[in-house]
Amino acid sequence: MIRRIGASLLLLFIWIGVAQAAIETFAYTNDAERERFQALTRELRCPKCQNQDLADSNAPIAADLRGEIHRLMNEGKSDEQIINYLVARYGEFVMYRPPVEQRTWLLWYGPAAFLILGFCIILIIVRRRQQQTLPSNAPLSADEQARLASLLKKKDS
């Protein structure tokens, strides 16, 4: 009896999940248009999600934007016009690859600069440690030679 109730509840939850899944069907005139739509939705980020593109996001705003992109494509807008429209509306955050401008230099070149800086710091640390651990070529003083001789005699005894 408990198994039947558990199985029934499981089937109910699965059915509810399938019923809630949004299946978008857009009409395309050809495969090139479908590929263009997929490329645009992969290139643009969902404004609500942290780091998901429009194609993978299940957020309601992502579904709305996919519909908006499809509408703009049907109106004959170019990819650049569609991207400019979405950037004007949601800001440059919606682009995965913002343009290289003076205000985005840190975004584009910052990781490489930090990597080079880190490499230089590691190189400096390694060289300093090598200089500290290298034996000196200076001859031993008389006291040091006497101490060394006594240590060697104790070791031999």
Q: What is the pLDDT of residue 10?
A: 64
Q: What is the pLDDT of residue 120?
A: 96
Can you give the pTM of this predicted structure?
0.55
Q: What is the pLDDT of residue 115?
A: 95
84 and 127 inside one domain = no
Q: What is the pLDDT of residue 134?
A: 61
66 and 89 inside one domain = yes
Residue 9 has pLDDT above 70, yes or no: no
Q: How far is CA 60 from CA 9, 40, 44, 49, in A?
A: 27, 18, 15, 10
77 and 136 inside one domain = no
Q: CA angle, corner 65, sides to 14 and 42, nearest 5?
A: 80
- 137 neighbors 129 (Cβ within 8 angstroms): no
Residue 20 has pLDDT above 50, yes or no: no
How far, in Å, CA of 44 to CA of 93, rounded? 9
Categorize the per-residue pLDDT at 114 as very low, low, confident or very high, splitting at 50, 70 and 90: very high
- Domain containing 134 equals 103-154
48 and 86 inside one domain = yes
Residue 11 lies in a domain: no
Categorize the per-residue pLDDT at 18 as very low, low, confident or very high, splitting at 50, 70 and 90: very low
CATH number at residue 34: 1.10.8.640
